[in-house]
Structure 1
Amino acid sequence: MSGPATAEADRHISIDAVRGFAVLGILLMNIVGMGLPAFAYVDPTYAGGSAGADLWTWAVNNVLTDGKMRALFTMLFGASAVLIAERAEGGRPGPMATHYRRMFWLFVIGMIHAYFLWWGDILVTYALAGLVIFPFRKLSVRWQLGAGVAILAALLGLNLFEAHELTALQAAALAPGATPDAIKAWQEASQLVAPSADLGRQEIAGYRGGFLDAFHARAMAARLIQLYLMPTNEIPEAIGQMFVGMALFRSGFFTLRWSSRAYLAMIAVGYLLAAPATAWLAWKIWKADFEPLALNRLEDWQQVTRPLIGLAHASVILLLVRSGAAQGLINRLAAAGRMAFSNYLMTSIITTLVFDGFGLGLYGRLSRFQELAVVAGVWVFILVWSRPWLARFHYGPFEWAWRSLVRWSPQPFVRMRSQPAAAAT
C-alpha cells in the first residue's frame, strides 16, 4: 500500500492545476442554481435578470463556461480513474477494489450533498458513470476516444430528436381543432422547457425559510434531476466525457507530453472555431427572445463545442505550467486542484449559508451579475486556504475522509514537521 509520500511524489502539477482551474470555473454556472430558482440556470428570463449586465453575464458564461467547466472536470475524473488504478497495481486493495469502493462512497457522499447542500450535485453522476468506465481503462487511446465521441454523438442525436418531438407536440396542440389529448400532452411536456412561474416562487419561499423548508425545496429538485435528467442525459454525457478524459490522459495531454504546437492547435480549435460558433448560437437564442423551444434546440447544438472550449482552457493552463510563467498562480491552482473534492463541497457549504434562510437569506435577492461577487469571494477563499492547508496536512479534509472510508482505516493526515509539502502545492 502506497503512503502519502509516494502518492505525492507521483502527482502531476499539470493535472492538479487544470483541476483547480476547473473547480473554480464550475462555480460560475453553479452559482445561478444555488442562489436563484433552478430553471434560471437554463433561461435568464426566468429569474436573475436578462438585460444589461445580467444579459452579458449570461452571454459570456454561455460561451465560455456553461458546460465547458463541467466537461473539463468530468474528463479529469476519467483521467484520474486511470491514474489511481495504475497506482493501485500490486497493492492492497487492488485497482478494482479501490475503484469500486471509491465509487460507492462517492455515491453516498453525493447523495448527502444533493439533498442537504446542492441539488445540482455531480458526484452521484460521477459515481454511477464510474461504474461503467473502469473495465475499459486499458483500451487503446483510439478506442477510448472513439467510444467517448460515439456516446456524445448519440446523446446529441437523442436530444435533437427530443427537441423535434417537443416542437411537434406544440404544433399539434396549437393546431385548429386540436384534441384535448394533444393539448394535455403539450402542457405536460412543456414543463420540461418552460416550467411555471409558481414553481420558481415556491423555490424562493422554501429556500428563504428554515432548514426543513430548504431541505424540502432542494429534495424536490434533486429528485427530479436524479429520476429524469440523470439517466437519460447526465450519466451518458459523463460516460462519454470520461472516455475522452481517459484517452487524453493516456496520450499525455494532461501530463505535458504533447508538444507546445499541439496545445496551441487545441487553443485555436477551441477559441477560433468552437467559441465563435457557440457565440453565434447564443446570439440566436437572444434573437429568439429566449423562446423555450428555440433555447432548448440551440443549446443542444452547443454540446458539440463545449468539450473543445474546455480543452482550450486546459491547454492555456498546461502551457503556463510548461513555461514556468505565473508560477504563484499555478501553485495556488494546483493546491486547489489537489483539494478539488474538499473545495467542491466547501463551495456548497458556503453558498448554502449565504443563500438559505437559516444563513444570510440571499436566495432570489441577487441578480445574475450580482452573484459574481459571491463567486469572487469563494474563489479567494479557495485560493487562500488550499496551499496553507496542504502545508500542514497530507490531504484536504474530505479527501482524507474519502480515502479513509475506501481503505476502511484512518489514513495519515497531519504532516510531521520534517515533512515538506509536495512540490505541487
Structure 2
Amino acid sequence: MSATEGEADGGRHLSIDAVRGFAVLGILLMNIVAMGLPSFAYILPTFAGGAEGADLWTWAANNVLVDGKMRALFTFLFGASAVLIAERAAAGRGLSPAQTHYRRMLWLAVFGLLHAVLFWYGDILVTYAVAGLVIFPFRKLSPRIQIAIGAAVLLALLGKNLWQAAELEGLRSAALAPGASPELVAAWREASSFVAPPPGAASAELAGFGGGFLDTVQARLGLLRMFYTYFLPWDAVPEAIGQMFIGMALFRTGFFTLRWSRRAYAAAIAFGYLVCVPLNAWLAWGMWRSGFDPLVLHELQVWQQVTRPFIALAHAAVLLLVVQAGWARWLVERLAAAGRMAFSNYLMSSIITAAVFGGWGLGLFGELSRSQLLWVVAGVWAFILAWSAPWLAQFRYGPFEWAWRSLVQWKPQPLLRAGPRAAAPAE
C-alpha cells in the first residue's frame, strides 16, 4: 500500500503525524540550551555554553534553521488539529465540538502549569491553551481570511517588537550620554534586563538548578514569573494565535494531507531555502559581527520573525514529499509514531532532561558546552524513536494522551489494544 493510500487509515493522517513527530524532535534542539545552561544562553551565545568553534557553529545552525521554526511548525499543526478534532467531534455522538475543544484547552493548561513548575519553565502548553481559546470560533472562516488574519497578527507583533527595539536603543544612547540623570540610568538598567543578563543571574541559576528537586522548582518559579509576566502575554500568545490561524488554513487547503501539487511543495521549499535561509544567515552574520551586542542581537532576531514561518513550511514540505513518494518508509513510520504521541514525547523530553541536568539527577546543569548538549539531544531522540512505535503496538494512546483524553471525557478511556494491531485512533 502506498503512503497516499494509507493516509487516513483509522482516522489518522500519516503525513500529519510524521510532520508532528519531526517538529517535536526539532523543538528539543533549541529547548536543550535553556534546559542545560543558564537561561540567557538561549538568546545570548556569549553568556554561557561557548561562542567559538563547534559551539559557534552549533549556535549558527540552530539560529538559521531551527530557532522558532520548529515551534512555528508545531503551532501550525496545533491549529490544524483544532479544525480536525472539531470536525470529528461534530461527526460523533459524544461531546460537541465546542465542549471537546474548550475542555481540551482547560486540561492542557493544567498539564502545562504542572510541566512548567516541575520540569521546564519554557513550557509551550499554557501558551497553546490560551491561544486555542481565541482561534476556535474562527475555524470555519475561509482559508484566505484565516491566512490574512494570521499574517496581520504576526505583522502587528513584528511592528511592536521593532518599536521596542528602537526604544531600547534610544534609551541606551540617552543613558550613556554625558550628564544623564540617575532616573534615566536606572530606567536603562531595568529595561536592559530583557536583552542582557542582570549581574549574578548565571550563578543564581547554577546554584538553584544544581540543588535538590525542590531547589530546582524554586529556581524555575523565579524564571516563570518573568516568563508569564512579559513574554507569554506580549510575544508567545500573539505569535501562537497568528501561527494557529495559518495552520488552520494550511490544513483546510490540504498542505498537511498531501493535497498540494508537487510543484506547490517545491515552490515552498525553494522560497524557504533559497530566499529565507540566506537572509536568515545574513542576519546571523550581523549578530556575530557585532560581537553579539545584546541590542544588535535583539533587533536582528526580531527581523528573523519574518523568515520563520517560511523556513518552517520548507522543512515540512520536504518531509511531505518524502511521505508522498513512499521513501524512507521505516523512518517516516517512526516519526509518525512519535507524532501520534507528541504530547507524551514533549513531556517526556522535559522529564528526561530535568533528570539529566538537575542536581537531584546527574547534575549536569551548566557543565556541557552548546555543542556537547547535542549528545543529550541525540539520546532523547533515540529514546523517542525507539519507544513510540512499540508502545502504540500495545496501547491505543500515549500515556499522557490517554490521561488528557480521559480527563476531557471525564471517564477513563480504553488504553490497551484488543486484537491485532490497528492504526492508532486520532487524538
Q: TM-score, normalised by structure 1?
A: 0.97
CA contact (8 A) 1:63 1:279 kept: yes
SS class of match (1:325):
coil
Alignment partner, residue 79 of structure 1: 80
> Residues 117 and 423 of structure 1: is their aligned pair in 2 closer, same or farther, counting only changes over 3 Å?
closer
SS class of match (1:303):
coil
The alpha-carbon deviation at position 420 of structure 1 amounts to 3.0
CA contact (8 A) 2:357 2:365 kept: yes
Q: Which of 382, 385, 388 in structure 2 is aligned with 1:383?
A: 385
Alignment partner, residue 32 of structure 1: 33
Aligned counterparts of 1:57 and 1:347: Cα–Cα separation in 2: 20
Alignment partner, residue 11 of structure 2: 10
Aligned counterparts of 2:246 and 2:76: Cα–Cα separation in 1: 6
Asked if 1:68 corresponds to 2:69, the answer is yes
SS class of match (2:350):
helix
The alpha-carbon deviation at position 419 of structure 1 amounts to 4.1
CA contact (8 A) 1:113 1:345 kept: yes
Alignment partner, residue 110 of structure 1: 112
Alignment partner, residue 163 of structure 2: 161
Aligned counterparts of 2:199 and 2:47: Cα–Cα separation in 1: 8
The alpha-carbon deviation at position 200 of structure 1 amounts to 1.2
Alignment partner, residue 312 of structure 2: 310
State the AA in 2 paired with 1:265.
A
Aligned counterparts of 1:51 and 1:386: Cα–Cα separation in 2: 36
> Residues 26 and 360 of structure 1: is their aligned pair in 2 closer, same or farther, counting only changes over 3 Å?
same
The alpha-carbon deviation at position 405 of structure 1 amounts to 0.2
Alignment partner, residue 52 of structure 2: 51
Question: What is the total number of aligned residue pairs between the two structures?
Answer: 418
Alignment partner, residue 186 of structure 1: 188
CA contact (8 A) 2:209 2:216 kept: yes
Alignment partner, residue 147 of structure 1: 149
The alpha-carbon deviation at position 197 of structure 1 amounts to 4.2
Aligned counterparts of 2:157 and 2:420: Cα–Cα separation in 1: 52
SS class of match (2:411):
coil
Q: TM-score, normalised by structure 2?
A: 0.97
State the AA in 2 paired with 1:49.
G
Alignment partner, residue 209 of structure 2: 207
The alpha-carbon deviation at position 181 of structure 1 amounts to 1.1
State the AA in 1 paired with 2:398.
G
State the AA in 2 paired with 1:321.
V
CA contact (8 A) 2:10 2:423 kept: no
The alpha-carbon deviation at position 418 of structure 1 amounts to 3.0
CA contact (8 A) 1:22 1:73 kept: yes
CA contact (8 A) 1:46 1:197 kept: no
The alpha-carbon deviation at position 164 of structure 1 amounts to 0.4
Alignment partner, residue 292 of structure 1: 294
Aligned counterparts of 1:110 and 1:247: Cα–Cα separation in 2: 26
> Residues 388 and 373 of structure 1: is their aligned pair in 2 closer, same or farther, counting only changes over 3 Å?
same
Identity %: 66
- Alignment root-mean-square deviation, CA: 1.2
The alpha-carbon deviation at position 178 of structure 1 amounts to 0.7
Alignment partner, residue 346 of structure 1: 348
SS class of match (1:26):
helix
State the AA in 1 paired with 2:79.
G
SS class of match (2:200):
helix
Aligned counterparts of 1:390 and 1:316: Cα–Cα separation in 2: 26
Give a deviation string over 1:325-384, Cα, whole Å, max 9, x none.
000000000000000000000000000000000000000000000000000000000000
State the AA in 2 paired with 1:40.
A
State the AA in 1 paired with 2:161.
N
Aligned counterparts of 1:423 and 1:333: Cα–Cα separation in 2: 16
Give a deviation string over 1:372-420, Cα, whole Å, max 9, x none.
0000000000000000000000000000000000000101100013343
Unaligned stretches of 5+ in structure 1? 1-6
State the AA in 2 paired with 1:162.
Q
State the AA in 2 paired with 1:120.
G
Alignment partner, residue 3 of structure 1: none
The 5 A counterparts of 1:259-298 are 259-298=261-300
Aligned counterparts of 2:199 and 2:68: Cα–Cα separation in 1: 25
Alignment partner, residue 4 of structure 2: none
Alignment partner, residue 4 of structure 1: none
Q: Which of 168, 175, 178 in structure 1 is aligned with 2:177?
A: 175
Aligned counterparts of 1:200 and 1:134: Cα–Cα separation in 2: 40
Give a deviation string over 1:308-338, Cα, whole Å, max 9, x none.
1011000011000000000000000000000
The alpha-carbon deviation at position 423 of structure 1 amounts to 10
Aligned counterparts of 1:134 and 1:81: Cα–Cα separation in 2: 7
